[in-house]
């Protein structure tokens, strides 16, 4: 980064991340916003420029409001070092985003999803997704936490999983039932047999021997949901993988 605004953005991101925030999407958006300011010849954040950038074509009102909220957070921090910076008013872009209603899975739903995973290509992919779905359903882990698990995080003798750097950078221990530990042990033995040269310590891997990617897991989840015959219960209640936590 170079230039006062980009240096300020680097400082803002550093401070927020020290508090446990990841900020992957806001970092990308704010970088784009600063590029916009540079194109406009603006020396600092103004409400006018923030609003104009936030409502650029693409996305709905909720997306525009999200973009403006990212700018507003940065502007609040920037004003502490730049008195000329303007903080856009809250709710400048009205947005009534519909909050999702948790999709509560019955035991039969979980069974149907695991059965659907048997139709995937490659034995390792089948085993990976069947085990992943089971672990998510019985532990309450987030998807990102599960795919971030390394071999050293799985203490099967003590039936404990270690989540490192979870939400807000927090770590925790998750005790699991003996049946879950045995299922994970069986998966790991199969994984080692099918991908002996895997170059990653990740527990859950792809047929290529690499750690699962978040976007690919979600794409596969949509296929499994369709194959299992699960349908939305309302506009706000659809079978999301995140809801396995419930």
**Predicted local confidence at residue 1, as pLDDT:** 44
Answer yes or no: do 112 and 72 share one domain: no
Answer yes or no: do 237 and 131 share one domain: yes
Task: List CB contacts of 70: < 8 A, sequence separation 6 or more.
Answer: 25, 26, 29, 30, 33
Torsion of the alpha carbons at 155, 160, 166 and 171, rounded to the nearest 10: -90
Answer yes or no: do 68 and 112 share one domain: no
Average pLDDT over residues 20-32: 91
| Cα distances (angstroms) measured from residue 80 to each of 27, 76, 85, 137, 211 | 19, 7, 9, 45, 41
Encode pLDDT of 55-72 as tens digits. Answer: 999 888 889 999 999 999
Answer yes or no: do 55 and 144 share one domain: no
**Predicted local confidence at residue 120, as pLDDT:** 96
Q: Where are the alpha helices (DSSP H) in 167-244?
A: 178-194, 214-228
Residue 161, both tokens: 């999983």
Percent of the chain at pLDDT exceeding 70: 96
Answer yes or no: do 125 and 52 share one domain: no
Are 70 and 30 within 8 A, CB to CB? yes
Answer yes or no: do 240 and 158 share one domain: yes
Answer yes or no: do 31 and 113 share one domain: no
Encode pLDDT of 33-58 as tens digits. Answer: 999 999 999 999 999 999 999 999 98
Encode pLDDT of 128-177 as tens digits. Answer: 999 999 999 999 999 999 999 999 999 888 799 999 876 666 789 999 99
Domain range enclosing 46: 4-78
Question: 85 lies in a domain?
Answer: no
Question: 153 lies in a domain?
Answer: yes
Q: What is the DSSP letter of 100?
A: P
Answer yes or no: do 200 and 136 share one domain: yes
- Answer whether residue 22 shows pLDDT above 90: no
**Predicted local confidence at residue 15, as pLDDT:** 93
Q: pTM for the whole thing?
A: 0.66
Are 183 and 139 within 8 A, CB to CB? no
Answer yes or no: do 116 and 224 share one domain: yes
Average pLDDT over residues 181-203: 94
**Predicted local confidence at residue 157, as pLDDT:** 83
Q: Sorting pLDDT into bands at 50, 70 and 90, what band is 223?
A: very high
Task: List CB contacts of 26: < 8 A, sequence separation 6 or more.
Answer: 70, 73, 74
Answer yes or no: do 142 and 197 share one domain: yes
Q: At what angle do helices 178-194 and 123-139 cross, to 10 degrees?
A: 160
Domain of residue 120, CATH code: 1.10.443.10
Answer yes or no: do 37 and 111 share one domain: no
Q: How many domains does the chain divide into?
A: 2
Answer yes or no: do 225 and 139 share one domain: yes
């Amino acid at each position: 980064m170079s230039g006062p605004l980009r240096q300020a953005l680097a400082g803002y991101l550093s401070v927020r991340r020290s508090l446990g925030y990841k900020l992957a999407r806001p970092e990308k958006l704010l970088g784009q916003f600063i590029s916009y300011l540079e194109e406009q010849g603006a020396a600092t954040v103004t409400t006018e420029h923030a609003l104009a950038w936030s409502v650029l074509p693409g996305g709905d009102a909720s997306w525009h409001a999200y973009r403006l909220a990212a700018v507003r957070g940065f502007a609040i921090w920037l004003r502490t070092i730049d008195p000329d910076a303007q903080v856009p008013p809250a709710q400048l872009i009205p947005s009534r985003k519909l909050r999702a209603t948790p999709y509560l899975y019955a035991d039969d739903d979980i069974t149907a999803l695991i059965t659907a995973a048997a139709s995937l290509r490659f034995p390792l992919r089948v085993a990976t997704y069947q085990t992943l779905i089971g672990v998510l359903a019985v532990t309450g882990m987030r998807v990102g936490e599960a795919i971030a698990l390394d071999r050293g995080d799985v203490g099967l003798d003590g039936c404990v999983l270690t989540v490192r750097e979870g939400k807000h950078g927090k770590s925790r221990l998750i005790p699991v039932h003996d049946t879950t530990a045995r299922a994970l042990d069986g998966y790991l033995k199969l994984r080692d047999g099918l991908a002996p040269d895997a170059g990653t310590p990740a527990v859950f891997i792809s047929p290529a021997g690499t750690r699962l990617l978040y976007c690919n897991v979600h794409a596969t989840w949509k296929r499994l949901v369709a194959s299992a015959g699960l349908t939305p219960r309302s506009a706000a209640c659809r079978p999301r993988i995140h809801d396995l936590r419930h």
